[in-house]
Structures are given as C-alpha cells and as structure tokens.
Amino acid sequence: RSYFGDIHTAHYLLLASIYFISILYVWMLKRSKNIPLQACVQLLTDVLIITALIYTTGGIESIFSFLYILSIFSGSILLYRKGGMIMASASSISYGLLLDLHYYGVIHPLSSRLSYPEQYQSYYLFFNIVANMAAFYLVAYLSSFLSEQARKSRAELQHKESDLIRLEAL
C-alpha cells in the first residue's frame, strides 16, 4: 500500500508499456521521414497514457489530471499553435469522457474508493471537467503564443544574419 492507494498489477503494466513505447519512439525517430507526423502520434499516445494513468489511480478521484498540461505544453513547443490546440482538444475529450463514463458507472477505475460514483454531485463533475478544459485551452494558447514568438524571433535573426553577411561582402 502506498500514499496514493493500493498498487495494482495494472500500474506495473502501465509503467512497462511506457518504457516499451519510449524505446519504440527512439527507434521510429531514426527511421522517420515525417517528423511532425511522428510528433503528433507521440503526443496523442501520451494523452492516452495519461488517461490510462488517471483510470488506474481512481478516475474522478485521481490527482493526475495536471499531466495533460505537460503534454499540451509539449505539443505547443513541437507543433506550435496547431499542435497545442490539438493536444488541448484531445486532452479535454479524453478527460471528460473518462470522468463521464466513471460517473455513470460504465467503467470502474482501479483504486477508486467510491462504490457509487453518483455520490459526487453532477455540478461537481461538470465544474471539474469545465475547469480542466479551460486550463487545457489556456495553457495551449499561452504556450503556443510563446512558441510562435520564438519562431518569429529565430526567423528575424536569420534574416539579420544574412543581411550582415551581405554587408560584409559589400
């Protein structure tokens, strides 16, 4: 028994699958021609892994919903605004679907102490989903804004360097 609840075999399987997927990512990186597509696949896989982690740690009761924000931030850095918004949307859909399915008793997450998730009021669930979705899109917007600014600064710097080289040649 740990601080976060009972450790189940599913936790170990999830950890092993994360290691395997990481090795697969490295292998794919060496052979891939389309890096943006690979980044998108990896980021969407990360959303699925985070959703699985939330499932194995209690669903509605899980404290790990903040991990989606790290994935959204990575999407904004790698794929700029489009990537950040795609990741925010995928995170919102995954998290909202997981919590709704848990609330209505369709799924029963591991480590959940609730025998009847309906103990939560529907407004609490709605607030939880909407607050997380707002945070996901806010992080996507702000991080993609910074990423776009960095890209523009790099382009301006390259332009200035080429101007300097032409000036020196003159």
pLDDT digits (tens, 9 = 90+) for 14-49: 788 888 888 887 888 788 788 888 888 888 999 998
DSSP bridge pairs for 123? none
Instruction: Read off the pLDDT of each residue in 119-130 and give the average, rounded to a whole number.
Output: 82
pLDDT at 2 over 50: no
The structure tokens 């960095």 sit at 150
The structure tokens 């101007």 sit at 163
Q: What pLDDT is recorded for position 147?
A: 87
The structure tokens 């990741």 sit at 87
Q: How many CA atoms lie within 13 A of 167 on its CB side?
A: 6
Lowest mean pLDDT among 17-31, 68-82, 109-123: 109-123
Give 4 or 7, the one with higher predicted confidence.
7
Q: What pLDDT is recorded for position 3?
A: 47
Report the alpha-carbon distance of residue 89 to residue 77 in Å, rounded. Answer: 16
The tokens describing 92, both together, are 């919102």
Name which of 51, 58, 41, 44 is nearest 96 in CA terms. 51
